[in-house]
Amino acid sequence: MRESPRLRVAFFRPDDERTEEAVELVESLGADPVPDPMLAVEPTDAVPRSDADYVVLTSKTGVEQAAAADWDPGEATVCAIGDATATALREAGYAVDHVPDEFSSAGLVESLSEAVDGKRVEVARSDHGSAVLTDGLEAAGAYVHETVLYRLVRPESAGDSAELAAAGELDAALFTSSLTVEHFLSAAEQRGVRADALAGLDAATVGVIGEPTRETAEDRGIAVDVVPDRADFETLACAVVEEAAPSHHE
């Protein structure tokens, strides 16, 4: 293990202002950031429908794609899956009518289940959206239409964090979605270090956002140490650094 007094913390956000914000946050927590973007956005140029009763946006990126297409929600009730998406909607000039208490697909379904029976619900998101949302809304009686606004692919450059983990030089990892877990492992495989990277993660502190991400990680052999109650990156980073620091300083 390195002799540095600072934790080395990897995260996998897209290579835009989200990575810049994450770097600042991790540094403010007294740790060394290891940005390793595992997601790149490929727009589809699709536009959310404007004739729905409810429209669900699930990410800041989705909002950006919809706004770039001059999408008009019409008279729809606009729903955001969490605060980050809601903030992006407001910054783009859209009114936000509903944000669930639990920032997850299951939480959104639960909060809308009594309102959407017989209603048209437009779900606008990436090509890797959870079926929990669409299946849950359909089970509640909604007529669900899904528009794929963008695809999420793994950048060819991804994988530096996997090599650090394989070398025992990574103290913590922050996974924000199931896809970041899958792309981390595929990058490790491509670089020929998958087994060693998994061993390195086992020795590190691993934090994830949400139960679906935990399930994906554990199904693929990654032990998860931290799942914060609040599903946002800042809460995740703070909780993981706090969890990792005691063992790091022993």
Give residue 248's pLDDT: 47
Consecutive 10-residue runs of the chain (250 residues): their mean pLDDT?
72 91 95 95 94 95 95 96 93 96 88 96 93 95 97 94 97 95 97 97 95 94 94 92 70
pTM to 2 decimal places: 0.76
Give residue 5's pLDDT: 66
Q: Which class for 66: exposed (0-12), middle (13-18), buried (19 or more C-beta within 10 A)?
A: buried
Whether 113 and 135 have beta carbons less than 8 Å apart is answered as no
